[in-house]
Structure 1
Amino acid sequence: MAESQRLFAVLAAFDMPERLVEAVRTIRGQGFRKIDAFTPFPVKGLEEALDFRDRRVPAAMLIGGLIGAAGGFLMQVGTNLDYPLRIGGRPLVAVPAFMMITFELLVLGAVLACLAAMFIADRLPRLHHPIFDTDGFDLSADDRFYLAILADEQFDRDEAGKALAALDPQAIIDVLERARS
């Protein structure tokens, strides 16, 4: 099986988080839309600069929580109607008595839905990413901030390289992706 390599992204390394956020704003202003950033810790303002609007995880949590709460409540109602115990004049469907289990299953449903949505949205488990092969990328765990312009059908390597060079990064790196043929 022969291995060939194709360009996955052009990566620029920065030393300060503020420079990364400014670089993202500049690159987006120049019309690049397929960009990503890699940082060792959360950077304030980066989400807005990247124009990140993916709200699938909170929506999944809401739906999971509602399903969990409804399931917990209906489970208790069904159990009390199937096996009625008339004790002390309490009604069979005693809503205040059902709230503890309903709340616990609401939390459980929201957490499980959150985990599932995060795994799906992040395409996990992903054991390898082309950027992991980049020289020096392991420093992103310490003190480097990376901006990647991802390659697509309309990608021009020279234009992306010039745009990144104008930002005065510490390094500009071509990220190659191994494609099996």
Structure 2
Amino acid sequence: MKRGLLAEFETPEAMLLAIAELRSRGYRRLDAFTPYPIHGVDAALGLGRSPLTWIVLPFAIAGAAGGYLVQWHNSAYAYPLNVGGRPAHAAPAFVPITFEMMVLASALAGFVVMLFLARLPELWSPLFDVPGFERATIDRFWIGIDARDPALISPLAERDLTDLGAITVAWAGGARS
């Protein structure tokens, strides 16, 4: 969310009730800003599971395959050595490095993909200019309605939020519908 309507709440319970009520009134592009994780916020916002695991899976498989292929190439093809009667292609000996390459590839890919999906790093946002928004990292709970939400009509949304117990209602990004 870059632009939209922000509302401040004192307690997480009030914020969760407001999110549920706003969704029942037709608002769909909602976001929550809290100082710590709140159980139930994801479900209240209607968020599903992250696609991160399915995006990282091919990288994990590629890392494991690459690790195995490098070991096979060096041990069985390029430099075959007869050590103690061991076959050149000894698959059980390749398991630890194959596993470690899978972990390394998935960790690196997961980190980069997570940054991309979260649109990070974001050094500045119009939300930071809203007075009091810095308390979202200390002790306040904020709900944001994105300016692109088709249900967002300025005076009605402001009234809805104040009726739901918002302490402060402010616009971020300078745009009003």
Q: Same fold (TM over 0.5)?
A: yes
- Displacement of 1:31: 0.7
Q: CA RMSD in A?
A: 1.7
Q: Distance in 2 between matches of 1:10 and 1:177?
A: 10
Q: 1:172 to 1:115 in 2, by over 3 A?
A: same
Deviation, structure 1 residue 49: 0.9
What's 1:143 paired with? 139
Q: CA deviation at 1:177?
A: 4.3
Aligned to 1:113: 109
Please say if 1:48 is aligned against 2:43: yes
Identify the residue that residue 82 of structure 2 maps to in structure 1. Answer: 86
| Structure 2: runs of 5+ lacking an equivalent | none
Aligned-partner residue type, residue 174 of structure 1: W
**Identity among equivalent pairs (%):** 37
> How much does 1:153 deviate?
6.9
Q: Does 1:133 align with 2:129?
A: yes
User: CA–CA distance in 1 between the matches of 2:143 and 2:149?
Assistant: 19
**Superposition deviation, residue 142 in structure 1:** 0.8
| Structure 2 letter corresponding to 1:158 | P
1:28-43 maps to which residues of 2 (within 5 A)?
Answer: 28-43=23-38
CA distance in 1, matches of 2:101, 2:140: 42
Runs of 4+ aligned structure 1 residues displaced above 6 Å come to none
Instruction: Determine which of 124, 131, 134 is the counterpart of 2:120.
Output: 124
Pairing 1:159–2:156 present: yes
| Matched residue type, 1:107 | V
Ranges in structure 1 where 5+ consecutive residues have no aligned partner: 1-6
Letter in 1 for 2:168: A
Q: TM-score of the superposition, structure 2-length normalised?
A: 0.90
- 1:153–1:44 Cα change, 3 Å: closer
CA distance in 1, matches of 2:81, 2:174: 66
Distance 1:177 1:68, change over 3 A: farther
The answer to whether the Cα contact below 8 Å between 2:29 and 2:149 also exists between their aligned partners in 1 is: no
Distance 1:146 1:85 in 2: 65
SS in 2 for 1:93: coil
Greater per-residue strand proportion: 1
Whole-Å separation in 2 of the counterparts to 1:70 and 1:97: 15
In the alignment, what sits opposite 1:4? none
Correspondence 1:174 to 2:176 = no
